Structures are given as structure tokens and as C-alpha cells.
Structure 1
Amino acid sequence: MRLNALLALSFMLALAAQVPAARAAQSACTAKPGYPAPNEPGQVFYLQRTSNANTVIYALNFDGTGKVDAQHPVDVYWRRYAEKGQRKELGFFERTFAFGARYAPLKGAPGRYRAHLVSYPALEVEVEPVAPGKARGLLEISGRPAVLDCIYIELLTNSYIPEIGHIDIVGRTLEGDERVSERLFVDQRAAGMAPGDRPAQR
């Protein structure tokens, strides 16, 4: 099932590739021109791919009082930078097999959640509000406690169905705000891993 989800993710990543328009703010995940660093309300992190600059935003929803909306706490959507920069909701297959998120509240910690991508449960993130309308995602990157900024997926397009070559996880250390990154290589072993069990680096 998880291997099928990874194949579905690879397929979704390859669809509708377009030439991205130039953007002023550069992504933290890639130096490719035209890849922006979004700054959305409640943003936790964002996901980008080699195919184009269209970006998936992962955010916490806040209500009118500045508290996390317990009925709909997590919001995942496109910011279509390769088009006109408009917001677009994920399609059914994108949400179910590729870019959607699963999450569960942390006991004894109101407003905090443990979350992972539906297609890659090995990468778990603890999501928490830090101020009204602001949030962050915590995890270990290269063995160091860090705040997640973005995930970047490199595609290999030498086959009919493109495969994921590697995944870059980029963030900042909790102490010192130092940039830190980790590269994961996805294979069949990773597809069968439980949440929190990442494949070894190469």
C-alpha cells in the first residue's frame, strides 16, 4: 500500500510541468530560479519539486480568537507559482495518495499535533502554534532538533513513470537558528517503514 502511494506521488509530481515565472524571494530548499519562499498565514512548512515552482503549503488553521481551529486544524493546498500564484485546493488523488497529511493531537498539549505526509509516513513532524496565526514544525534533521522550513523532491525522469531520486529536508536548528539539511533516498524499504522510522542516509 505504501509502495503504491509512493508510485502515485511520483506520478503526481510529473504532471503539468510548466516553466515557472521569476519570483523575488528565493526558496530555502533550492537555488533554482523562480522558486519562491512562501509566507502564508499559519504556515508550518512547504513542499517543492523539480518539475515546476508550484508549491504545496502545510499550515495550521486559526480561528477568530487566534487559537487553533480544533474542527479543521490542518490546511494543505497549492500555491500555483508556475501559473499566477493563485491558491488551489488539492485534488482527490493528490490529497489521498501524494501530498495530503495525516495528523493526530498530542495528548496534554492543546493545539499541538503529530503529522506526516500520506505518501511518506516515515517523516513525522510535531506541529505547534507559536503565536496567533503563526506555527512551526519540529523534528530532527541530521540528528539535531530543528524547525522544518521545507521539503524538496528531486525526480528522476529516465523512465515512463518518474521516480523519486531523493528528498531534501531543510530547516533551522532550535538553538542558534543555523541552517541544517538532510538528504533521504526513497526505495521500497522506505515504503514499508512505520511512522518515524526514516531510511538511512547514503
Structure 2
Amino acid sequence: MNRAIFSLCAFFFWVGTGTLPAFAQETLKTSQGQELLTPKGIPNLLFFVQRDPNTNTIVYELNLNSKGVLNEEEPIKIYWLRYADGGGKQELNFIQRKFAYGLHVKKLSAEKFELKFVSYSKRTLYLQKGPDGKWHVYAAIQQKPSVLDRVFVRIEGGTLWVPNVVYAEFKGRESATGKEIVERFKP
């Protein structure tokens, strides 16, 4: 069941091709050679999710109130950067929030939250303050505590509702060393 829902998540990346948006300042190349735009200039960016061949990106941003205090009821804002439509922001629709890109959030303490993708609950993430005093999303990448920067989903074929997810990739920085770390896995 989780694989089917994760595949549904990947389906929503299927729409669109891109033009240069306001939020992208550099690109990343996929293993297939496609260039994907990297969100920049988002002050509270935690991590983002992409898939090829779609240029649209899902952004996970820290949700602070006007006084700079974390909204504990909804600590992360999730939205599209619609590169295919000029780079504007767009809220997720109901299906995307509840079955694809949304997060299950569980408050563990005043400064730590457990996060799980609604579409794939086998990998647990944590929102918490780091040694630098800033909020980060942490994940085990190659079984090492790491700050999560990017999730990439590779899809080849499949059907409209169940695309063939070839792999997912977590990219981040090891907590202990700050070195870049990447892990690919088959969901």
C-alpha cells in the first residue's frame, strides 16, 4: 500500500516543463542529464522534493509567525514552486496534501517534531534545532544522522496512478562532519 501511495506522490511531479523562475539561481543535473532548477532565496527553506522530467518543485519551509516563533500546530509550510508557470508559488491541493507530499507531524518536545511523508512512512524525519541554533530537518542517510537538503524521485513509465518509481534519493550533510552525503533506495 505504501508503495502505491508513494507512486501516487511521484505522479504529481509528472506535470509541466520549465522556464527560468524567480526562485532558481542554479541547476542540478539528474543521472539522465536533465537540469533541474534549485530553489534559492527562500529564507526558511528546510528541504525540497523534485523528480525528473518535471521542473516543478515542492518546497518544505519553516513556518514562523510574524514574531519569528515556530507555529507548533503547523511547523512546516509546503507548497509548489511552479517553474513551468514562471516560478510562482502554489498551494498543494487536497490530494497532494493528504496522499502525496504532506507530512504527518508529531510533536515530541518543544524543540523536536517527528515527520513522516503521508505517501511513505518508512523513513522518519525530525524537525529540530541544530548546534547552530537554527531549525533543520534531520534524517538517517546511509545510517548516519544528517541534515536533509533534497529528495529526488526517479520515475520511468508506469501508469497514470501508479508510476514506476525506480528510486528515491536523499541528499544532505552529515551532522558530525558537514560532508555531503547521498543515499538512493527503492521505496
The TM tier, using the shorter chain, reads 0.7 to 0.9
Task: Give 3-state SS (helix, strand or coil) of 2:27's partner.
Answer: coil
Amino acid at match of 1:172: R
Q: Which residue in 2 is equivalent to 1:40?
A: 42
SS of the residue 1:66 aligns to: coil
Task: Give the match for residue 126 of structure 2.
Answer: 126
CA contact (8 A) 1:21 1:83 kept: no
Give percent identity, aligned residues only. Answer: 23
Aligned-pair distance for 1:28? 8.8
DSSP 3-state at the match of 2:34:
coil
What residue in structure 2 maps to residue 147 of structure 1?
Answer: 147
Equivalent residue, structure 2, for 1:190: none
TM-fit CA distance, 1:48: 0.5
Q: Alpha-carbon deviation of 1:6? A: 2.6
Instruction: Give how far 1:34 is off.
Output: 4.1
How many matched pairs?
Answer: 181
The range that moved more, 94-103 or 39-48, is 39-48
Deviation at 1:63, TM superposition (A): 1.7
CA contact (8 A) 2:13 2:56 kept: no
The one-letter amino acid paired with 1:120 is Y
| Structure 2 partner of 1:12 | 12
The alignment partner of 1:13 has SS state of helix
Report the TM-score when normalising by structure 2: 0.84
SS in 1 for 2:5: helix
Tell me how far apart the structure 1 counterparts of residues 18 and 149 of structure 2 sit (CA, whole Å).
24
What CA deviation, in whole Å up to 9, does each residue of 1:38-70 have, x standing for no partner? Answer: 342322111001032211011221122222112
Question: Matches of 1:113 and 1:27 in 2, distance apart?
Answer: 29
Q: Point out the structure with the larger strand share.
A: 2
Tell me if the contact between 2:29 and 2:35 (Cα under 8 Å) persists in the aligned partners.
no
In the TM superposition, residue 20 of structure 1 has moved relative to its aligned partner by 4.4
Contact 1:28 1:170 in 2 (8 A): no
Are 2:76 and 1:77 equivalent residues in the alignment? no
CA RMSD of aligned residues (A): 2.4
Q: AA paired with 1:62? A: L
Shift in alpha-carbon separation, 1:58–1:28, aligned structure 2, 3 A: farther
- Alpha-carbon distance, 1:176 to partner: 2.2
Letter in 1 for 2:20: A
Q: Distance in 2 between matches of 1:29 and 1:58?
A: 21
Q: Distance in 2 between matches of 1:182 and 1:66?
A: 33
Distance 1:12 1:50 in 2: 11
1:28 and 1:177 mapped to 2: Cα distance? 22
Q: Who is 1:184 aligned against?
A: 185
Residue 126 of structure 1 and its aligned partner are, at CA, apart by 0.6
SS of the aligned residue for 2:81 comes to strand
Unaligned residue ranges in structure 2 (runs of 5+): none
Do the aligned residues in 2 keep the contact of 1:20 with 1:34 (CA within 8 Å)? no
